[in-house]
């Protein structure tokens, strides 16, 4: 998916823009707000988490004295960007928020949350506007040249299908030959489809057809009305969508990607962030957060700093 340091490759498709016209996000109607809220899990997992003095001591002295970290992230009204994040009844909700708050508890810090666009957050980390960036950033070799990563989940590239299509499982890219596929322009998804465009002919199948959308709302509409067969997107979100978008089924993934917090190179923040994630894994709170949002198999066994990139 395309993101920047300029725009750097990976995971732009997870920066979902809410379409008010098509999805009703941001509606002031109280009934809509109540309906959205009723579908959002409300378990409190983070409030009882205790500070870990040893991990907190790893933070730079100026951060410990300030007691806060400024994080740049994205904000999407409504529920279209769940499980990562949304705004329901004027409250921020989501897996990313719960995980961030849990890490803040371990570190003994408060978060100064600043909202930006997906493409602006990495440059903001580089120029010092944000100390930490969190927006489902996938690890890439190009990014690791200028940023430090602290991984906190595993995502990847996979397919969501309309329940009306016969396809039941996707293991390789040629399994989707002959289908109409919706994805995000300027993304790793587009790159993968473009780079494998000749593969269908090699195995004697018809080529796929691709339609590009910047918003998930028309993709889901296309799946419902038959204009689209498959959605090629980020695995964590697709697994969540399968449970919440009627008439869809998750078909599988063809590659995986580590996702992490981004911090300025050698800022001293990457290790304590990673160690805080590992503390949550050790206590079981990490698993509870992922289970709360219905995506238990997208977590990591252990957080690492700057892991090898597959992109």
pLDDT at 14: 33
The topology under which CATH files domain 53-155+257-293 is: D-Maltodextrin-Binding Protein; domain 2 (3.40.190)
* Total residue count of the chain as it appears in this document: 311
User: Nearest-5° angle of CA 110, CA 89, CA 80?
Assistant: 90
The pTM assigned to this predicted structure is 0.78
Q: Is the peptide bond before 222 cis (omega within 30 degrees of 0)?
A: no
The topology under which CATH files domain 157-255 is: D-Maltodextrin-Binding Protein; domain 2 (3.40.190)
Q: Could you give the strand order of the β-sheet that contains 248-264, starting from the edge strand earlier in sequence?
A: 110-115, 68-73, 132-134, 248-264, 147-162, 230-234, 180-183, 209-212
How far apart CA 178 and CA 210 sit, in angstroms, is 10
| 3-state SS, residue 74 | coil
pLDDT in tens, the chain (311 residues): 333 222 232 233 333 333 322 222 233 333 333 334 457 899 999 999 999 999 999 999 999 999 999 999 999 888 878 899 999 999 999 999 999 999 999 999 999 999 998 889 999 999 999 999 999 888 888 899 999 999 999 988 999 999 999 999 999 999 999 999 999 886 778 888 999 999 999 999 999 999 998 778 899 999 999 999 999 998 988 999 998 899 999 999 998 889 999 999 999 999 999 999 999 999 999 999 999 998 888 899 999 999 998 76
How far apart CA 66 and CA 164 sit, in angstroms, is 55
Q: Which two tokens stand for residue 156?
A: 């990847």
pLDDT at 72: 98
pLDDT at 12: 32
Segments of the chain assigned to CATH 3.40.190.10 = 53-155+257-293, 157-255
The number of CA neighbours under 13 Å toward the Cβ of 187 is 28
Calculate the alpha carbon distances from 132 to 32, 117, 124, 128 in Å. 33, 14, 9, 9
């Amino acid at each position: 998916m395309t993101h920047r340091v300029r725009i750097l490759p990976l995971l732009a498709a997870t920066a979902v823009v809410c379409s008010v016209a098509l999805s009703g996000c941001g509606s002031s109607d109280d009934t809509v707000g109540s309906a959205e809220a009723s579908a959002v899990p409300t378990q409190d997992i983070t409030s009882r988490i205790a500070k870990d003095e040893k991990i907190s001591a790893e933070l730079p002295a100026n951060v410990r004295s300030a007691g806060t970290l400024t994080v740049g992230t994205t904000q999407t009204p409504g529920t279209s960007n769940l499980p990562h994040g949304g705004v329901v009844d004027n409250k921020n909700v989501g897996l990313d928020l719960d995980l961030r708050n849990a890490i803040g508890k371990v570190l003994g810090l408060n978060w100064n949350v600043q909202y930006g666009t997906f493409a602006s957050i990495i440059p903001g980390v580089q120029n010092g506007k944000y100390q930490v960036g969190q927006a489902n950033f996938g690890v890439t070799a190009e990014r690791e040249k200028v940023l430090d990563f602290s991984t906190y989940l595993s995502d990847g590239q996979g397919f969501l299908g309309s329940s009306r299509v016969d396809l039941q499982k996707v293991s390789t890219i040629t399994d989707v030959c002959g289908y109409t596929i919706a994805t995000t322009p300027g993304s790793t998804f587009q790159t993968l489809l473009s780079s494998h465009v000749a593969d269908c002919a090699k195995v004697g199948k018809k080529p796929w057809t691709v339609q590009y959308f910047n918003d998930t709302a028309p993709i889901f509409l296309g799946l419902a009305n038959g204009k689209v067969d498959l959605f090629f997107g980020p695995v964590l979100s697709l697994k969540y969508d399968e449970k919440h978008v009627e008439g869809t089924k998750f078909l599988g993934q063809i590659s995986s990607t580590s996702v992490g917090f981004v911090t300025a190179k050698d800022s001293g923040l990457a290790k304590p962030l990673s160690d805080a994630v590992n503390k949550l894994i050790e206590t079981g709170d990490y698993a509870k957060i992922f289970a709360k949002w219905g995506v238990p198999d997208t977590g990591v066994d252990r957080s690492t700093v700057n892991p090898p990139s597959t992109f």
